[in-house]
Amino acid sequence: MTDIPVPPTLDAPLLTVSDLSVRFPIRGAFGRNLGEIKALDHVSFDLAQGEILGLVGESGCGKSTLGKTLMGIQAPNDGSILFKGQQIAGRTPREARELRRTLQYAYQDPGASLDPRWKIGKSLEEPLIIHTDLPRAERLEKVREILTSVGLPAGHTELFPHEISGGQQRRVGLARILMLNPEVIILDEPTAGLDVSVQATVLRLFHDLRDTFDLTYIFISHDLSVVRLVCHRVAVMYLGRIVEVGPVETLMDSPKHPYTQSLLAAIPRINGPRVTENFWLEGEPADASKLPQGCRFQGRCPHVQPLCRQQDPADKTIGDQTVACHFAGELSPPTAKKRQTA
Ligand SMILES: Nc1ncnc2c1ncn2[C@@H]1O[C@H](COP(=O)(O)OP(=O)(O)OP(=O)(O)O)[C@@H](O)[C@H]1O
Ligand SMILES: [Mg+2]
């Protein structure tokens, strides 16, 4: 996918997320409170109309929680979400319904969002029954139209989910969301579990649909090579915080946060030199319920300094990248840790 259009402007963001925090209580026996997990810790970013923003990070870093919180499926503890300049929290039920239509979340597991007992046609028609007053004939017409736009034959309405492939289930999941004319779609691991050739056609489909339906995407993935192909910008999350954000090319060619550097070092590069040599992410992330004082990446960082153990780094702006590292921009290519070979 070499034809990503020019990144859209952030002058008038469609979505503005500020200082969003979500904490989950940890309960022990008899409901005893054993602390809390900081799933999102003061997350802030903007999303421009038409943009595809990648959201990457290891399992458990808070990607799905962010998606669900934007959708209103998960309530935040702190922070604000502005959609087209209007606060999402505190809306009337009617406004909230309208908003849910505008913002849609494509679940990590597409099979799970389809009822196995329902034919695909029924699954696709259902959102129209709930959210619109369209008469049956128009609903069926819309079902056929959207099925075709996701590249499936209209006859698939008569099939059950188990009768179609994983790639086709993704398309049906997407069709279900498109039934409601959304403006922003949060795609949670949209190509996970698909083989590479199917991934490529599904990625192409996202681009085509974005152009046809004027969509804006948040593209959640732990696969940086996929993100590089489809996104304008990328936000890298580590233990509930966005540690680096920037245009996809700049961030991938010149990562400033040691965590981003290590994620990129783990990708085999076919074209061009590797971003970093001899640097591999070791160990596990810190426990999200016991974040250390100072920087959350200190335990795995090859550049760690005393300051990192004392102060949580503020966001630094370097060119068009924002980086949460005390030493961002001063780090030489990391060579401190050699990969152990057996
Ligand atoms: N409903 C919940 N109750 C308690 N803890 C939760 C809940 N949902 C998520 N968490 C915790 O919050 C953290 C972030 O989880 P989240 O599902 O957002 O991660 P993720 O980045 O989407 O991971 P993955 O790549 O595996 O999908 C994890 O520590 C997780 O265990
Ligand atoms: Mg997830």
Each residue of 66-92: b (16+ CB within 10 Å) or e? Answer: bbbbbbbebebeebebbbeeeebeeee
Q: How far is the CA of 51 from the centre of ligand 1 (A)?
A: 25
SS3 263: helix
Residue 157 to residue 122: CA distance in whole angstroms:
7
User: One-letter amino acid identity for 124?
Assistant: L
Domain chopping of the chain, boundaries: 15-54+73-238, 254-342
Q: What is the pLDDT of residue 129?
A: 93
SS3 193: coil
The number of the ligand 1 atom at minimal distance from the alpha carbon of 40 is 14
Which of 34, 43, 61, 65 has most ligand 1 atoms within 8 Å of its beta carbon, as the pocket-test mutant?
Answer: 65
Q: What is the pLDDT of residue 280?
A: 57
Which residues of the chain form beta strands (DSSP E)? 15-27, 33-47, 52-56, 78-83, 86-87, 103-106, 184-188, 216-220, 233-238, 241-247, 316-318, 321-323
The pTM of the full predicted model, rounded to 2 decimals, is 0.88
Q: Are 238 and 285 in contact (CB under 8 A)?
A: yes
Cα Rg, the chain, nearest whole Å? 21
Which of 20, 23, 24 has most ligand 1 atoms within 8 Å of its beta carbon, as the pocket-test mutant?
Answer: 24
Residue 222 to residue 244: CA distance in whole angstroms:
15
Residues in contact with ligand 1 by the CB-under-6-Å rule are 24, 37, 39, 57, 59-65, 222, 288
Higher-pLDDT residue of 331, 247:
247
The secondary structure of residue 338, as a DSSP letter, is P
The secondary structure of residue 113, as a DSSP letter, is G
Q: How far is the CA of 207 from the centre of ligand 2 (A)?
A: 22
Which of 64, 73, 223 has most ligand 1 atoms within 8 Å of its beta carbon, as the pocket-test mutant?
Answer: 64
Which has the closest alpha carbon to 324: 207, 236, 251, 229?
236
Q: How far is the CA of 74 from the centre of ligand 2 (A)?
A: 13
Query: Residues 6 or more apart from 168 whose CB is under 8 A from it?
Result: 152, 156
Residue 184: what are its φ and ψ, rounded to 5°? -125, 130
Interior angle at CA 221, CA 296 and CA 146, nearest 5: 150
The number of the ligand 1 atom at minimal distance from the alpha carbon of 288 is 29
Q: How far is the CA of 3 from the centre of ligand 1 (A)?
A: 34
For the stretch 97-132, pLDDT in tens is 777 788 898 887 766 778 899 999 999 999 899 888
Q: What is the pLDDT of residue 5?
A: 55
Q: What is the pLDDT of residue 336?
A: 40
Q: How far is the CA of 282 from the centre of ligand 2 (A)?
A: 21
For the stretch 184-212, pLDDT in tens is 999 999 888 788 888 888 888 888 999 99
Nearest ligand to the CA atom of 56: 1
Q: In CATH, what class is 15-54+73-238? A: alpha beta
